[in-house]
Amino acid sequence: MSADAPLIRLAGLTKTYGRGQAAFQALKGIDLSIETGEFVAVMGPSGSGKSTTMNILGCLDTPSGGTYQFKGVHVERLTRNQRALLRRGYLGFVFQGFNLLSRTTALENVELPLIYRGESAVRRHAAARTALEQVGLAGWEHHTPAELSGGQQQRVAIARAIVTRPAVLLADEPTGNLDTHTSQEIMALITAFNRDYGITVLMVTHEPDMAGHAKRVIRFVDGRVESDRLNAEGA
């Protein structure tokens, strides 16, 4: 891989669900490059292909055609196990619904990615505590999700996503279930991790206010990239 190659490159990416008359083409040839350290907001109406693209970028789905290169590696050629290793080693995820395990503590939720990596208990505990401190939840390590507000639960989810220091943070409507004030707090956290640690952020959002935090805004319509612009006022 050459030094000036982008972190992520999509070329002619397509995705079709179903077959024959029932076939639906969700992506119709996506060409896109993402550089290391960018903060990109992905917008578009429901059914525009933005979530399908994010699922492919996150190795949660595979394309029907075209290429997806990550650090120069052709992801579309990888096996299921190889994609799982890429996901585990380089990607962090934040979802609208938090996706926390209800019967486990905040600390245990944050430790999960480190368990999958085979880290020792001592290293897991230390890293998870540090991540919770970084999202402002020092002292809340032993609380379960039911004992936390929505904003606190999303902070735990962010701590879980960044505890491995991923190269890319994929955030799918991370403020969709939060009030305006809490949404701004969550966006300030995500912006800080992008700015201070160089984590590349790709965020799906319907909200222009949230997209305003990004340095670049890409809009999808009908399975294609309609526009791709820099945001001078972004992070």
Q: What is the pLDDT of residue 234?
A: 63
Residue 191 pLDDT exceeds 60? yes
Residue 235 clears pLDDT 70, i.e. is over it: no
pTM: 0.90
Average pLDDT over every residue of 58-62: 94
Whether the pLDDT of residue 185 is over 60: the answer is yes
Confidence band (pLDDT; 50, 70, 90) for 21?
Answer: confident
Kindly state the average pLDDT of the residues 95-105: 89
Query: Would you call 36 exposed, middle or buried from its count of C-beta atoms within 10 A (0-12, 13-18, 19+)?
Result: middle
What are the chain's domains?
8-99+167-230 (3.40.50.300)
Residue 97: per-residue pLDDT: 83
Does pLDDT of 116 surpass 90? no
pLDDT at 73 > cutoff 90? yes
Task: Give the pLDDT confidence of 200-231 residue by residue, as tens digits.
Answer: 999 999 999 999 999 999 999 999 999 999 98
Tell me how crowded residue 96 is: count the other CB atoms within 10 A of its CB.
Answer: 17
Cα distance between residue 76 and residue 97, in whole Å: 28
- Report pLDDT for 98: 82
Burial class (CB in 10 A: 0-12, 13-18, 19+), 159: buried
Average pLDDT over residues 136-145: 95
User: Per-residue pLDDT for 3 more than 70?
Assistant: no
What does the alpha-carbon distance between residue 75 and residue 139 come to, in Å, rounded to a whole number?
Answer: 40
pLDDT, mean over the chain? 93
Sign of dihedral through CA atoms 35, 36, 41, 46?
positive
- Per-residue model confidence (pLDDT) at position 1: 46
